[in-house]
Amino acid sequence: MKLFVSGRKDVFNTLSENIAPNETTLWFHCASLGEFEQGVPIMNACKQLLPNHKIVVSFFSPSGYEVKKKDPIADVVVYLPLDTLQNAKKFIAATNPSLAIFIKYEFWPNYLFELQKNKIPTLLVSGLFRSKQSFFKPYGGFMRKALGTFDHLFLQNENSKDLLSSIGISNFTVSGDTRFDRVSHQIEQNNTLDFMEQFKGDSLCIVCGSTWTEDEVVLLDSINAASENVKFVIAPHKIEPSKIHTFRKNIQKKTALYSEVISLSEVKKTKNLSEANVFIIDMVGLLTKIYNYADIAYVGGAMGATGLHNILEPATFGVPIVIGKNFEKFPEAKKLQQLAGLFSVSNAQECTEILEKLTNNASFRNKTGMIAGHFINNNTGATKTVMDYIEKLDSLKSKTNA
């Protein structure tokens, strides 16, 4: 809450310092980190199409802003001021956007109405709707009006299309999820990490990414029961030393902690990592490349109520995925489960059973991993659909490659 409040104090100063009165921008709004990742392919494409526009990214939550406030893809990164009429007028005047793009499911009425009033094209990208949202309730008239301000809505799935159709909205395209485009490019990058080469060696590696305490409790039995040729990487979602210390004490295998080994000499580092069975990553920003070393991935967040993290990152490397039990709000997980590239577990016993099956049966592991990889390849293309629309906007045509 402290960051939520303090981070918003200097927003308008930051904007005035970084955007001159005669400059125009492309404004992307993201709720948090996951939505930012969905926006990245569009941001990159827009930078190519409209190089004279500055990219402004706003976040609602501290978890997104704190991680991405210095990301080079954006010229300016700020918190979104609270949704008041005065803030909306001031923010839009300060940013002077030629185009506004909201990612997934952030709807702030005052901002949307002000964008419409100023005739600024406004898009929703990777939109995802559920029947429980206020738009689809008898009392949701005001929010339906706000939704009607979008010039076009690019949707993830048919269910969202049907819901919008039921309230008379038709200016949409089912384009898919831009995250598929984002992760599909990762495999083309250099994903080598020397410390992972040293740790994994010839062992089979299970990478447990974005874990919470609820996930780690369930994983503990699997870790302690695993054979010596199976190694685990644990990358907690939040780096909290006290919780990491408690978890580490309960592991009956030899462990290594990233912050401890990274400062060692090369000889000692190699020895520590090669002899460890469990490697705990207490630093953010490494997980995407670490998934390159996974034979199996466990993705956290769905064992509790925090929300499932990104399953597409490991899937792009063609590995089977295990998650917790609460993933009803994540269509990509439901679909991959139907295809048999993802497995949901409810408790420690189920987790141990599926991980043992995947580690002991190479044919089963390879087949399910291949399903996950194909799932990514078969769902790319959302970015092109969105950019085809943006390129045709009359208000931007005169500015394209100007």
Catalytic residues: 35
Contacts with 31 (C-beta within 8 Å, 6 or more apart), sequence order: 59, 60, 61, 64, 103, 104, 105, 106
Closest CA to 374 of 324, 289, 312, 322: 312
Structure tokens belonging to residue 263: 């400062």
Structure tokens belonging to residue 209: 């990414």
Task: Give the number of C-alpha atoms closer than 13 A to the C-alpha of residue 178, restricted to the C-beta side.
Answer: 27
Q: Rounded distance, CA 152 to CA 140, Å?
A: 20
Q: How far is CA 117 from the centre of its chain?
A: 32
Give me the amino acid identity at 326. Answer: N
Contacts with 171 (C-beta within 8 Å, 6 or more apart), sequence order: 150, 151, 152, 153
Q: Map residue 76 onto helix, strand or coil.
A: strand
Q: Map residue 55 onto helix, strand or coil.
A: strand
Q: What is the DSSP letter of 106?
A: -
Specify burial of residue 245 (Cβ count, 10 A radius: 0-12, 13-18, 19+).
Answer: exposed
